[in-house]
Structure 1
Amino acid sequence: MKIRTKIALVFTLMTGTILFLLSAFVYVVSSKHMEEHFLTRLKVSASIAAESEFEDETNLVREIRDRHLQKLRREKEWFFEDNSSFPREVLKALPRAPTSFIENLMDRGSAASREGFEYYTGFRYQSASTNGKQYFVIASAYDEDGEENLLFLRTMLIIGFSVSCVLVFALGRLFANRIMKPIADIISKVHEITKTNLSERLGSAKGNDEIAEMAATFNDMLDRLETTFELQSNFIGNASHELNTPLTAILGEVEIIRSAPRRPEEYVESLGIIDYEAKKLRDVTSSLLRLSSISYEGKKQKIERLQLDELLMDIKINFDRRMPANKVRMLVQAQEGNTTAYCIVGSSVWLELAITNVIQNSIKYSDNKEVLVTLSSSEQHCFVEISDQGIGIPEEDMRYVFEPFFRGSNTGPYKGYGIGLPLAARIVRLHAGELQIFSKPNTGTKVTLKFNASRDL
């Protein structure tokens, strides 16, 4: 069942329930009102009948009653003495009268009851003309008009309820179709989008409602998919190039060696080339394995609570040990009285690798000029800023900096494989953080790593 049908059915069910309750209320109140009105008329008729029976010696009341008071359908009056034989006489005269009516009449002195549309009323009567005797006056009548009116009302309510439900369902379908039309358009458009036309976008992303929000979300997803496909395509091309280049060089040297006898010096030279290219191939393969391991094994690393300031100090010590001539300078903003200001949750191994890669890039592309590493924090985040005075990144290359194997157009003189920065970005993203780059050619580059303070992964 489609959503638009479900919406129409639910709307009809809700409205039908309200209409049913309203119709039942109208019917019950109308029935009660007719009952009270008819009983009032019957009681008045019974009182006039009693006065005519016991007080009207000249028959004047009877004449006025017969002339001016409308007689009720099957109206009858009975007069019984209040004695022990009263119940028996009543049952004999009124076999259909309810037993409770007789009992209430004897106990309370007045009563009213009904059986279907047959009404009964009675009261105890005593006056000076009865010589102290008490009588029971009982009247009954059939409410034919009430029966017809209630039957007509019930028929109209049923017809009105049925027509209203059909009309509500039709209107529900109409409004459901109008409501669901943008969604149907989105579904149709999404079906048309394939990997060959990922540049297409949904046109329903305008407005502030949920449908516009959904369309905007789809467009954002398509942006990410398009970028991912582009990155994947470029990655395959670059990876193939990086792997084929050393393999071609190795195979070429082997062919040269095998083509004819050579002098020992030439064999040594060819073996040196093969060794260089093989190591290059090993480095590229190792970088690829390390990059892929972040995606598949990153969450298997030991997750612990760690201090970023202590981690930066360890990284600085390692750089001083491996590169004594480095000009890396650490600056940690003081957080007096707050020992957990730089506390985050993550893998110290991966975070050390990410920060080390960024610092190594800064050292390499600034020709070992000063690299400033600044650690700061806010109430909810920690920031690691790594600034250099290097060659910078051209503006046209900025969109590709996180693509594996991509190298900037101005990095020709520098050795590298284009793995360090994408690897760092993936590690930071794995820790629910952000990596941002601000750079100008021939001015320098600033890389900002943003982490959530004490965030549970």
Structure 2
Amino acid sequence: MTIRTKISLVFTLMTGTILLLFIACVYILSIQHAHTIFFTRLKVRASLAAESHFGVTEINSSVVKEIRERHLQRLPREREYFIYDDSLYLEHVQQQVPHIPESFIKTLKQTGFAEYNHGFLHFSGSTYTSANGRNFVIASAYDETFENHITFLRNVLLGGFLFSCIIVFALGRIFATRIMLPISAIVSKVHDITTSNLSERVPGGNGKDELSEIANTFNSMLDRLETTFELQRNFISNASHELRTPLTSILGEAEVIQQAPRSNEDYLKSIGTMHHEALKLEEVTSSLLRLSQISYEGKKQKIEPLQLDELLMSIKINLDKRMPGNQVKVMVQPSEDNPYIYTFMCSDIWMELAFTNIIQNSIKYSDNKEVLVTLSFNKSDFFINISDYGIGIPEKDLEHIYEPFFRASNTSKYTGYGIGLPLASRIIRLHGGKMKVHSRPNEGTKVFVQFPQNMRLRTD
């Protein structure tokens, strides 16, 4: 069953239920109103019948009879029953008046008035007091007119109910179809979208309803997919280039060596070139392996408490050994209340790798100028800022700096593979952190890193 059919049926069921309750109320109230009116007419006839039957004088009785015959139309099955007080017993009355229940006679004896209907057959009893004592009269008649009216009303209401349900279902179907049009358009468009035309978008409309929100959410997902596929294509292209270049050099040197005998100096020179290119190939391969591990093996890494201030000082010590003369300065906001304020749950190897890459980039692209590393905190977060006064990054390149193998347009004279910053970004994001880069050409670069305190390693 389609959604539009379900919507139509539910809409019809709800409307039909409400309509049926309304029809039932109209039907019941109409019957009650008709009974009330007919009982009033029957009560008048019972009173006149009593005056005619139990009248004090014959003149009065004859006058009443003449009025009844001349001015009152007889009702269908109209009957009058006259009972004296001393004969008002159940068996006696039930023999004279059919369909009379015991409760009617008890009420008539106790209150002097009673009404009862058996379907459309009505009974009205009242008391008449005369010189002969208290007597009773029971008038009965059949409301044939209203029986016809109520039958007609019932047929009209049931017919109108069925017709209304059909109309409601048809209208519900039309509205459901119109409501489902955006979804049908989305489904149709999604079937046409493949990896070759990810630039296509589903129609979102200008509304602010849930369907527009679905379309906009789907378009946002397509934006991310298109970006991911584009990054993947660029990654494969750049990775192939970075891997092919040293391999080509190694193969070229090997072919040169095999062509003819060479001197020892030529052999050593070729081997040196091959060794240098092999080291570059090993470095690129190791970087790709680290990227792969960060992307797919996050949940396998061991996490443990780490002091961020100690980590930064350790990185500074290692840089001093490998890059003597660097001008990296580390400044830590002290905490007198808690010496372990910078304790952070993370993978220490990855965290060291991330900040080492960022700081090394600052050193390299600032030509070994001063690099300031600051560590601070507030009630909920840690902040690590790394600032340099280097060549900076052109504004048009900032949006691509997290793409593997991408290098800014002003870095041609610097060696590198464009992997360090994307690798650091993934490590920081994996630990629940945020990284922002602000830079201007020839003015330097500032990297802002923020970590929530007590954040554990993400596994998604």
Q: Same fold (TM over 0.5)?
A: yes
1:292-313 per-residue CA deviation (whole Å, 9 max, x = no partner) reads: 1112111232355666455444
Structure 2: segments with no counterpart, 5+ residues: none
Contact 2:319 2:326 in 1 (8 A): yes
**Equivalents in 2 of 1:182, 1:338: separation in Å?**
58
Partner of residue 48, structure 2: 48
What is the CA-CA distance between 1:373 and the residue it aligns to? 2.3
**1:20 and 1:259, CA in 2 relative to 1: closer, same or farther beyond 3 A?**
same
Partner of residue 76, structure 2: 73
**1:95 and 1:308, CA in 2 relative to 1: closer, same or farther beyond 3 A?**
farther
Contact 2:75 2:142 in 1 (8 A): yes
**Equivalents in 2 of 1:285, 1:258: separation in Å?**
27
What is the CA-CA distance between 1:450 and the residue it aligns to? 3.2
Structure 1: segments with no counterpart, 5+ residues: none
Partner of residue 165, structure 2: 165
Partner of residue 193, structure 1: 193
Q: Are 1:265 and 2:268 matched, yes or no?
A: no
AA aligned to 2:359 is I
What is the CA-CA distance between 1:314 and the residue it aligns to? 4.4
1:230-287 per-residue CA deviation (whole Å, 9 max, x = no partner) reads: 1111111111111122222222222233333333333322222222222222211111
What is the CA-CA distance between 1:337 and the residue it aligns to? 6.0
Secondary structure of the equivalent of 2:196? helix
1:117-144 per-residue CA deviation (whole Å, 9 max, x = no partner) reads: 1122324x352322x3x43322221111
1:86-142 per-residue CA deviation (whole Å, 9 max, x = no partner) reads: 21222222333334434544555543222221122324x352322x3x433222211
**Equivalents in 2 of 1:160, 1:106: separation in Å?**
46
Secondary structure of the equivalent of 1:127? strand
Partner of residue 24, structure 1: 24
Contact 2:80 2:138 in 1 (8 A): yes
Partner of residue 147, structure 1: 147
What is the CA-CA distance between 1:338 and the residue it aligns to? 8.1
**Equivalents in 2 of 1:47, 1:346: separation in Å?**
102
Corresponding residue to 1:86 among 80, 85, 89? 89
Partner of residue 112, structure 1: 115
AA aligned to 1:94 is V
**1:385 and 1:69, CA in 2 relative to 1: closer, same or farther beyond 3 A?**
farther
Q: Are 1:276 and 2:276 matched, yes or no?
A: yes
Partner of residue 354, structure 2: 354
Secondary structure of the equivalent of 1:196? coil
Partner of residue 390, structure 2: 390
**Equivalents in 1 of 2:179, 2:131: separation in Å?**
81
AA aligned to 2:130 is A
**Equivalents in 1 of 2:168, 2:111: separation in Å?**
52
Contact 1:54 1:129 in 2 (8 A): no
Contact 1:80 1:86 in 2 (8 A): no
1:15-414 to 2 correspondences below 5 Å: 15-55=15-55, 57=57, 58=59, 59=61, 60-83=63-86, 86-106=89-109, 109-123=112-126, 125=127, 127-130=129-132, 132=133, 134-303=134-303, 308-309=308-309, 311-320=311-320, 322-333=322-333, 346-377=346-377, 381-414=381-414
Partner of residue 436, structure 1: 436
**Equivalents in 2 of 1:245, 1:80: separation in Å?**
126
What is the CA-CA distance between 1:420 and the residue it aligns to? 1.0
**Equivalents in 2 of 1:37, 1:451: separation in Å?**
84
Contact 1:98 1:115 in 2 (8 A): no
**Equivalents in 2 of 1:264, 1:441: separation in Å?**
48
Aligned-residue CA RMSD in angstroms? Answer: 2.8
What is the CA-CA distance between 1:186 and the residue it aligns to? 2.8
Contact 1:55 1:129 in 2 (8 A): no
What is the CA-CA distance between 1:330 and the residue it aligns to? 2.8
**1:304 and 1:168, CA in 2 relative to 1: closer, same or farther beyond 3 A?**
farther
**1:128 and 1:108, CA in 2 relative to 1: closer, same or farther beyond 3 A?**
closer
More displaced, 257-266 or 335-344? 335-344
How many positions carry a matched residue from both structures?
454
TM-score by length of 2: 0.89
1:139-177 per-residue CA deviation (whole Å, 9 max, x = no partner) reads: 221111221222122122112212222222222222222
More displaced, 434-443 or 16-25? 434-443
AA aligned to 1:276 is H
Secondary structure of the equivalent of 1:195? coil
AA aligned to 2:431 is H
TM-score by length of 1: 0.89
More displaced, 402-411 or 334-343? 334-343
Contact 1:341 1:453 in 2 (8 A): no
**1:376 and 1:209, CA in 2 relative to 1: closer, same or farther beyond 3 A?**
farther
**Equivalents in 2 of 1:213, 1:380: separation in Å?**
33
**Equivalents in 2 of 1:414, 1:175: separation in Å?**
65
